[in-house]
Amino acid sequence: MKRLISVIICLALLFASTSVSYAFSFGDFGSRFKNDEKREFREEKKVSSEGLRTEKRADSREEKLEKMRKFFGVMIKRYEAAVARLERLIGKIESRVGKIKEEYPAKNVSGIEAQITTAKSKLALIPPKIEELKADFEALLVSETPKESFKSLAKDIRAVKSDLKSIHKILVHVIGDIKGLKFGENI
């Protein structure tokens, strides 16, 4: 008896599972959408994805421009700070050379003074170049060919940086020359 009941239950389950599978087929699901509706759905998705792409492009361009402005601003501040430091250093060196001339009139400091004059003349050319860089950068932001404009701007930036380095090198050499003077000896 128990066996008969278990066979009946198994047959009932088998019958129920086959009837459910016939009730829902994937072919019926695909035929719910007609070809026109599918086409319209695809076109709407395409239009919405294109709209999102253009929004992302505009946003990314604005973000890039903002990052460029920020980076350029920081770089210009660094260059201006370097100019200010070099001017202060030149002032200190000049005052030290003046004291040396007063205390030790026999010492020859004309070479040092010539180097200081060279450094001052080179340093005087840097602030106008920095202002030029600012103007070129603003022109770059609205340029139709930003890559070409950026190449020339990058070249000018490297030139200003190398000028600052050369001025610093001159001043380091001057400081070494001042230290090289032997004070206390009468020549």
Of residues 19 and 137, the one with the higher pLDDT is 137
94 in Cβ contact with 116 (< 8 Å): yes
State the pLDDT confidence band at 32, using cuts at 50, 70 and 90.
low
The reply to whether 150 falls in a domain is yes
Mean pLDDT of 15-42: 60
Hey, what are 76's tokens? 């210009």
The reply to whether 128 falls in a domain is yes
We report the CATH number of the domain holding residue 135 as 1.20.120
The reply to whether 168 falls in a domain is yes
Of residues 167 and 40, the one with the higher pLDDT is 167
State the pLDDT confidence band at 38, using cuts at 50, 70 and 90.
confident
Give the Å distances, CA to CA, from 187 to 55, 57, 101, 106, 177.
78, 74, 14, 7, 17
> Which of 103, 113, 114, 110 minimizes the C-alpha distance to 183?
103
Q: Give residue-wise pLDDT tens across range 91-120.
A: 999 999 999 989 888 888 899 999 999 999
163 in Cβ contact with 122 (< 8 Å): yes
Q: What is the pLDDT of residue 44?
A: 74
The reply to whether 99 falls in a domain is yes
Of residues 104 and 16, the one with the higher pLDDT is 104
The reply to whether 80 falls in a domain is yes
Task: Please tell me what DSSP assigns to residue 61.
Answer: H
The reply to whether 87 falls in a domain is yes
187 in Cβ contact with 146 (< 8 Å): no
The reply to whether 108 falls in a domain is yes
Q: What is the pLDDT of residue 46?
A: 74
Number of folded domains in the chain? 1
Q: Give residue-wise pLDDT tens across range 141-185.
A: 888 887 888 888 999 999 999 999 999 999 999 999 888 876 655
* Residue 71 pLDDT greater than 80, yes or no: yes
Q: What is the pLDDT of residue 174?
A: 94
The reply to whether 13 falls in a domain is no
Range of the structural domain that residue 78 is part of:
73-180
Q: What is the pLDDT of residue 19?
A: 52
Q: What predicted TM-score, i.e. pTM, was given to this entire model?
A: 0.64
Give the Å distances, CA to CA, from 99 to 96, 103, 187.
5, 6, 18
